[in-house]
Amino acid sequence: MYQASSLSYWLVSFNSYVVQKDKLMKANASVIVLFGAISYGIPASIFKIATNEGASPTNLLISQIFCAALILISINFTQRKKYAFKLNSISRAKLLLSGLAMASTNILYFTSLQYISVTVAAVLLMQSVWIAMIFGIIFKKNIPTKHQFIAVIFIMVGTILATQIFTRQITLSWIGIMLAFGSACAYACTLIVTNTVVKNADPIQRAMYISIGASFFLVLFCGYNIDFNDQLIVFKWAPIIAIFSVVFPLICFSKGMPLLSPGLGGILSSIELPSAIIFAYILLNEKITLIQILGIFIIVSSIIYPNLISLIQKKRNKKIRS
């Protein structure tokens, strides 16, 4: 009897330890993903600083992807023995071709910064949330929920306020707007591709091939415009942009996302938008109006809303089952 009660006590204690450890791991994963999302908000401001110092946008684009690819190749080389899934030639080819979406996102987004502010460009890039949803309806027949439709409407309202597109307070370049919106479409494609192509491969391994593919397409599309007169400035900033735009967020997401639910991951990744605007204010001294802040708040809240509803519903379902 004593042994049974003692065993029961140890089992309860062990279960409590596992639950606490699981909560701690999820908390740490949340912090890691949060840092990854914040990191995504930094490169646009650094890119503008570099171009203001005389760096060619084309050189920066190509160099930062090359740097990212080289860093990922180095990481991949040290971890290749750990990979359980071996890539065949078809899988490698698919990942290399996936680099086209990433290259298009970089070209359109960073080019838009020559015409519009980082704040407006970041807001327009976040339209990828509802664009990806539309792509899901067309190509995967995924019907959005009522909450997702409501979120899309509010994202559009927030976008109008954040860009102040219909007011005279800010003069916007339509070329910049079209480029940034195009980058949102390309980014939506990138999200779909990275979530569907060769899913069994290690995230670092996949990112390496996608980055190599993106480098190839960037050279193919922009190679004719390479200028060799600004190499010192490019070498100064390209590795920094590469780390914050590709390497660091990718490592954070690959380590943290698997431990989180998709809803919580979506909520945390939305921090990218305020991060981009805060860093634009700090590094570039870009002015932000109260209307823009309201618009940004509406956009972030709209991204959080459907994910939060999904999390609440899942918790309720778990309670009902238990």
pLDDT tens digit sequence for 16-74: 443 454 555 656 777 888 888 888 889 999 999 999 888 888 888 889 989 999 988 88
Residue 274 lies in a domain: yes
**Better pLDDT: 162 or 307:** 162
Q: Does the structure show a pLDDT above 80 at 15?
A: no
Instruction: Tell me which residue range forms the domain holding 262.
Output: 29-79+87-320
**Percent with pLDDT over 90 in the chain:** 11
The reported pLDDT for the residue numbered 175 is 92
What secondary structure does DSSP assign to 23-49, as a single string? HHHHHHHHHHHHHHHHHHTSHHHHHHH
Are residues 33 and 254 in contact, defined by beta-carbon separation less than 8 angstroms? Answer: no
How much is the average pLDDT of 292-320?
80
The reported pLDDT for the residue numbered 7 is 37
The highest-confidence range among 107-116, 152-161, 162-171, 185-194, by mean pLDDT, is 107-116
Radius of gyration of the CA atoms of the chain, in A: 22
The reported pLDDT for the residue numbered 241 is 92
Residue 23 lies in a domain: no
Q: Does the structure show a pLDDT above 90 at 180?
A: yes
Are residues 98 and 153 in contact, defined by beta-carbon separation less than 8 angstroms? Answer: no
pTM, 2 dp: 0.79
Residue 22 lies in a domain: no
Of 29, 96, 9, residue with least CA distance to 255? 29
Say how far apart CA 247 and CA 68 lie, in whole Å. 6
Say how far apart CA 263 and CA 55 lie, in whole Å. 39
Q: Does the structure show a pLDDT above 50 at 258?
A: yes
The reported pLDDT for the residue numbered 84 is 57
Say how far apart CA 264 and CA 27 lie, in whole Å. 11
Q: Does the structure show a pLDDT above 90 at 144?
A: no
**Banded model confidence at residue 9, pLDDT cuts 50, 70, 90:** very low
Say how far apart CA 175 and CA 33 lie, in whole Å. 33
How much is the average pLDDT of 209-224?
87
**Better pLDDT: 238 or 132:** 238
Are residues 302 and 159 in contact, defined by beta-carbon separation less than 8 angstroms? Answer: no
Of 256, 231, 172, 258, residue with least CA distance to 54? 231
Q: Which two tokens stand for residue 128?
A: 């990828």
Q: Does the structure show a pLDDT above 60 at 130?
A: yes
Are residues 91 and 151 in contact, defined by beta-carbon separation less than 8 angstroms? Answer: no
Exposed/middle/buried for residue 240 (C-beta within 10 Å: 0-12, 13-18, 19+): middle
Residue 226 lies in a domain: yes
Residue 17 lies in a domain: no
The reported pLDDT for the residue numbered 322 is 65
Please, what sign has the CA dihedral across residues 124, 129, 132, 136?
A: negative
Residue 13 lies in a domain: no
How many separate domains does the chain show? 1
Q: Which two tokens stand for residue 53?
A: 């110092």
The reported pLDDT for the residue numbered 182 is 94
CA quadruple 173, 175, 178, 183: dihedral, nearest 10: -100
Say how far apart CA 142 and CA 34 lie, in whole Å. 28
Say how far apart CA 88 and CA 105 lie, in whole Å. 27
**Banded model confidence at residue 251, pLDDT cuts 50, 70, 90:** confident
Say how far apart CA 79 and CA 86 lie, in whole Å. 13
The reported pLDDT for the residue numbered 41 is 87
Are residues 218 and 62 in contact, defined by beta-carbon separation less than 8 angstroms? Answer: yes
Residue 24 lies in a domain: no
Q: What is the mean pLDDT of the chain?
A: 79
Residue 1 lies in a domain: no
Are residues 252 and 39 in contact, defined by beta-carbon separation less than 8 angstroms? Answer: yes
Could you read off the pLDDT of 147-168 as tens digits, one per residue? 778 888 888 888 888 877 666 5
Lowest mean per-residue pLDDT among 78-92, 230-244, 288-302: 78-92
- Burial of 261-282, coded b for 16+ CB within 10 Å and e otherwise, reads eebbbbbbbbbbbbbbbbbbee
